[in-house]
């Protein structure tokens, strides 16, 4: 194989792996930076025991490293000596962790590409092993196809380091998710701070994200049920997660335009929303409350998704 072809292959590998790291970092910021990072912290880092402020720092460190590696793979500095070996080492550590998760029977989304591209630990492990195999080629078979430059400019080095550190320590502001649960007495509800009447008679309390398609479809279904059974279906109260970090006013208006009516609602920041619902459940969430007591709970769009027949059955029960 000619030297020109070898150089082309090495460049193709570097570009491909760089794009993989960019996609991985971007996916953790999807669909918005605040929502994406919070999801990564709570669902994925929290799932392996990294929580609180440590999760905030770890999430930004991981995303910052992914962007940094993507950039460094395209630059000619210390590729053979530092950049590629370090990248292989990091991928190996993650592959071992993913293998342990797969061995333990975990088959849900591991969070490597956030919610943008769901992957099981086993799939992510093979992705890492494939990437490691690609990166080994420039260090072995094609080691003479490119040259390392060891004269990295100090300004670039300082700029990259400062940018990474700034990214790590930008922490979202909001309510702490480590507050102890408040004791709830019979006939009361933890949601009374949002809706004064939520513990009076029957209520449907919904946990929605305003741009979630399943949440929109469920809201429309509730509106249609309310029209069909006006004396049976309880009043609806909605807690919206603020996706945009600014009240999500336009998103919520578009939500109600789609549904065809407007429910009584409150908007919570992501950090306020997490301990109430999002950490252990998925959108859309609907709780049937009787005098503040939970009688039925739907969440997600799969096994425990909203079922109108089950709701009507629960409402009709008098016990």
What CATH superfamily classification does 190-316 receive?
Glutaredoxin (3.40.30.10)
In this predicted structure, what is the pLDDT of residue 185?
53
| pLDDT confidence of residue 180 | 41
Model pTM? Answer: 0.67
Residue 273: its pLDDT value, please? Answer: 86
- Contact by Cβ (8 Å): 134, 16: yes
Per-residue pLDDT of the chain (319 residues; tens, 9 = 90+): 788 899 999 999 999 999 999 999 999 888 777 778 877 887 778 778 787 778 888 888 888 889 889 988 998 888 998 899 999 999 999 999 999 999 998 887 888 998 789 899 999 999 999 999 999 999 999 988 877 776 766 666 666 666 666 565 554 444 334 444 445 455 578 899 999 999 999 999 999 989 889 999 999 999 999 999 999 999 999 999 987 778 889 999 999 999 999 999 999 988 788 778 866 678 899 999 999 999 999 998 888 999 999 999 999 997 6
- CA dist., res. 115 & res. 35, Å (int): 11
Give the pLDDT of residue 35.
74
pLDDT value of position 163 = 61
């Amino acid at each position: 194989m000619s030297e020109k072809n070898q150089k082309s292959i090495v460049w193709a590998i570097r570009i491909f792996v760089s794009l993989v790291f960019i996609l991985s970092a971007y996916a953790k910021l999807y669909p918005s930076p605040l929502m994406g990072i919070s999801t990564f912290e709570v669902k994925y880092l929290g799932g392996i025991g990294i929580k609180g402020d440590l999760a905030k720092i770890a999430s930004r460190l991981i995303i910052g490293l992914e962007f940094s590696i993507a950039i460094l793979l395209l630059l000619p500095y210390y590729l053979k000596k530092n950049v590629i070996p370090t990248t292989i080492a990091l991928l190996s550590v993650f592959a071992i962790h993913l293998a342990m998760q797969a061995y333990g029977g975990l088959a849900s989304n591991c969070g490597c590409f956030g919610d943008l591209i769901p992957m099981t630990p086993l799939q992510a492990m093979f992705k890492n092993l494939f990437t490691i195999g690609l990166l080994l080629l420039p260090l072995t078979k094609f080691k003479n196809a490119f040259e390392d430059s060891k004269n990295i400019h100090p300004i670039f080095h300082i700029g990259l380091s400062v940018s990474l550190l700034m990214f790590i320590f930008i922490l979202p502001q909001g309510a702490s998710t480590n507050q102890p649960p408040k004791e709830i007495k019979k006939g009361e509800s933890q949601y009374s701070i949002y809706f004064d009447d939520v513990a009076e008679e029957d209520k449907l309390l919904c946990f929605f994200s305003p741009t979630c398609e399943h949440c929109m479809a469920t809201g429309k279904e509730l509106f249609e049920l309310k029209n069909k059974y006006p004396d049976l279906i309880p009043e609806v109260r909605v807690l919206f997660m603020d996706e945009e970090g600014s009240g999500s006013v336009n998103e919520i208006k578009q939500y109600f335009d789609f549904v065809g009516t407007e429910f009584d609602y409150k908007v919570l920041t992501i950090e306020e929303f997490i301990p109430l619902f999002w950490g252990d459940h998925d959108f859309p969430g609907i709780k049937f409350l009787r005098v503040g007591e939970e009688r039925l709970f739907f969440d997600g769009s799969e096994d425990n998704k909203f079922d109108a027949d089950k709701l009507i059955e629960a409402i009709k029960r008098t016990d």
